[in-house]
Amino acid sequence: MLGIVRQKMLEQSLKKIPPAVSVLRSYSSAAKQMTIRDALNSALDEEMSADSKVFLMGEEVGEYQGAYKITKGLLDKYGPERVLDTPITEAGFTGVAVGAAYYGVKPVVEFMTFNFSMQAIDHIINSAAKTNYMSSGQISVPIVFRGPNGAAAGVGAQHSQCYAAWYASCPGLKVLAPYSSEDARGLLKAAIRDPDPVVFLENELLYGESFPVSDEVLDSSFCLPIGKAKIERKGKDVTIAAYSKMVGYALKAAETLEKDGIDAEVINLRSIRPLDRSMINASVRKTSRLVTVEEAFPQHGVGAEICASIVEESFAYLDAPVERIAGADVPMPYAANLERMAVPQVEDIVRAAKRTCYRSVS
């Protein structure tokens, strides 16, 4: 009923809320800055504009403009047939989205946080990830599952888990974790264009952060390759591999380490599955030392997989054991001091890097 009223209003209304690109602040000669929020919004806008099969589905993505405003303005621009507000029924709407992808349209499903994706995980794994294989290529599933992942601030145990390792262990899925605005734009566009199911792990605390973006990044054809990591900072003494928010922490740790004469190479994984093993191994063969950083629970995690890859491929090159910095092995506490202890801090990364260099950490 409301949809019909809105449809009529839409026919007369102009774009009331401007798309993200015009929100760019450009300085006279410096690079343009863009927030992650605007990067994601503009990527969705451009991909929806380029391909009429792309549509959005999720709780509050339409009239509310997105729980975290990532989908702001898109309902007004594309209408209620392409931006769909769902009831709070993850299992149901995720199944509906996967079924739509079977038919050949291209859903982008938003989970308000990935904690809620657990209600729909059967559809992500059994209905989406495995179907191309089970059908021997008859039915591909061009779907994207996106939303904030990992710890936020003070939201407690049920709202803070990182699902990178869970989804990345599953063949048939692709799992991406952007860090910068360039990552956000390029990887989301790649995910939407990809014919396979992609889990796109954002970070709530990064949504408001600004990053410089070149004209190339701002172009609507911009796309990043899936499965390739990026060297954010070149170095020669120790490799620090991280994803999402922890890339920023790793870069800060590298600045601190530089003052102590340790030149760290920081790798932004970008892609958890496929994991860019060759780049990580090439880096470790150069530096001989590795620290992995993740916010997630440590056991059976991304860092463990990277460590195994190094041991298998580059054991002879290691001058020190691989160090693993991760979230604490406990459900996320609420109290601020405990919460701080439950996630990695910059000093943890610095300390681990020093350990690999056999430097005193006191």
Partner 1 sequence: MALSHLAASASRSSSLLKPLSSALSLRRSISGDNSPLTVETSVPFTSHQCEAPSRSVETNPKELLTFFRDMALMRRMEIAADSLYKAKLIRGFCHLYDGQEAVAVGMEAAITKKDCIITAYRDHCTFVSRGGTLLEVFAELMGRQAGCSKGKGGSMHFYKKDSNFYGGHGIVGAQVPLGCGLAFAQKYSKDETVTFALYGDGAANQGQLFEALNISALWDLPAILVCENNHYGMGTAEWRAAKSPAYYKRGDYVPGLKVDGMDALAVKQACKFAKEHALKNGPIILEMDTYRYHGHSMSDPGSSYRTRDEISGVRQERDPIERIRKLILSHDLATEKELKDVEKEVRKEVDDAIAQAKESPMPEPSELFTNVYAKGLGVESFGADRKEVRATLP
Report the alpha-carbon distance of residue 12 to residue 336 in Å, rounded.
49
Q: How far is CA 172 from CA 117, 126, 178, in A?
A: 17, 10, 20
Number of C-alpha atoms within 13 angstroms, CB side, residue 51? 19
Residues numbered 219-238 forming contacts with partner 1, rule: CB under 8 A: 225-227
Q: Is 193 left (phi over 0), alpha (psi -120 to 50) or beta?
A: alpha
User: Of 9-17, 62-70, 120-128, 152-160, which part binds partner 1 (CB under 8 A)?
Assistant: 120-128
Rule CB under 8 A: say whether 71 interacts with partner 1.
no
Q: Point out the catalytic residue in the list 59, 90, 305, 323.
A: 90
Q: 117 is written with which tokens?
A: 């994706």
Query: Is 123 known to be catalytic?
Result: no
Using CB under 8 A as the criterion, what x/- string covers residues 135-174 for binding partner 1? Answer: xxxxxx-x----------------------------xx-x
- Total interface residues for partner 1 by CB under 8 A: 48
CA 215 to chain centre: 22
User: Of 176-184, 191-199, 240-248, 348-356, which part binds partner 1 (CB under 8 A)?
Assistant: 191-199
Q: How far is CA 94 from CA 117, 132, 156, 162, 259, in A?
A: 9, 17, 25, 19, 49
Rule CB under 8 A: say whether 261 interacts with partner 1.
no
Rule CB under 8 A: say whether 18 interacts with partner 1.
no
Rule CB under 8 A: say whether 19 interacts with partner 1.
no
Residue of 128, 147, 270 lying closest to 200 (CA atoms): 147
Q: How far is CA 67 from CA 17, 37, 71, in A?
A: 16, 12, 8
Rule CB under 8 A: say whether 115 interacts with partner 1.
no
Residue 132 vs 256, nearer CB to partner 1: 132
Query: Is 90 known to be catalytic?
Result: yes
Candidate residues 87, 215, 337, 360; the one interacting with partner 1 per rule CB under 8 A = 87
Q: How far is CA 41 from CA 20, 34, 76, 136, 312, in A?
A: 6, 11, 13, 35, 40
The catalytic residue positions are 90, 159
Residues that bind partner 1 (CB under 8 A): 55, 81, 84, 86-87, 89, 91-105, 122-123, 126-127, 131-140, 142, 171-172, 174, 194-196, 225-227, 274, 277, 312
